Amino acid sequence: MGDSVALDVLEHEHDVIRKAAAGMEALAARLESGRTVDVNLLNGVVEFLRVYGRACHQRKEEDLLFPALARRGVPSVGKPLGSLTFEHLKEWAAVGALAGAIRSYAAGDRDAPARVIALLREMAHFYTDHAWNESNLLFPYAARVLTPIDQAELLAQFEIVDREIGKDVVERLARFGEKLAEEAA
Ligand SMILES: [Fe+2]
């Protein structure tokens, strides 16, 4: 077992999230070309963001990784942890706005497609940038600060998060995120 077991899990989730972000761009392009998108697929994006992005992934970072780093002396306010937590909050607000825009789209509101397009793009850019910051700046730093025992403990706690959500749910949503670009085509 490698020493970066916990960070490897988060990195894998970032891969899924990056693919889902590409899928959100593809959905936005489809709507922009005047074609319709199945409301179930759009609601699937919201579920992916809420359950996989927030309840599964961000919770592992905010509730488990960041406190573990703070215990190793990384400041919990300011950069990097305070800023990343603030970005999570902004993402969370944008998911609520997207869910609202999708409801208007489903109701046939004429202005809704433009709002759905803008929010899908905003979320896609946001997630891509945020994952880049964590993968390229935070995780290499975390890999130096955390001990192998810290990482093993985090891995066990990550397992509990997945089990609470349901491993089958997490896997289904990961596949949804990975295949979103194909579905959107
Ligand atoms: Fe992350």
- pLDDT (tens digit per residue) in 46-90: 999 999 999 999 999 999 999 999 999 998 888 889 989 988 888
State residue 24's pLDDT score: 97
Going from the Cα of 148 to the center of ligand 1, the distance in angstroms, rounded, reads 20
Centre of ligand 1 from the C-alpha of residue 109, in Å: 34
Q: What's the gap in Å between 39 CA and the centre of ligand 1? A: 27
Tell how far the Cα of 85 is from the centroid of ligand 1, in angstroms: 10
The answer to whether residue 2 scores a pLDDT higher than 80 is: no
Report CA(116)–ligand 1 centroid distance (Å). 23
Q: What is the pTM of this model?
A: 0.94
Instruction: Provide the residue type at 16 as one letter.
Output: V
Residue type for 147, please?
A: T
Q: What's the 19 CA to ligand 1 centre distance in angstroms? A: 14
Give the pLDDT confidence of 111-124 residue by residue, as tens digits: 999 999 999 999 99
Question: Distance from the CA of 153 to the center of ligand 1, in angstroms?
Answer: 18
Domains and CATH numbers, the chain: 5-184 (1.20.120.520)
- C-alpha 22/C-alpha 59 separation (Å) is 22
Task: State in Å: Cα 12 to ligand 1 middle.
Answer: 10
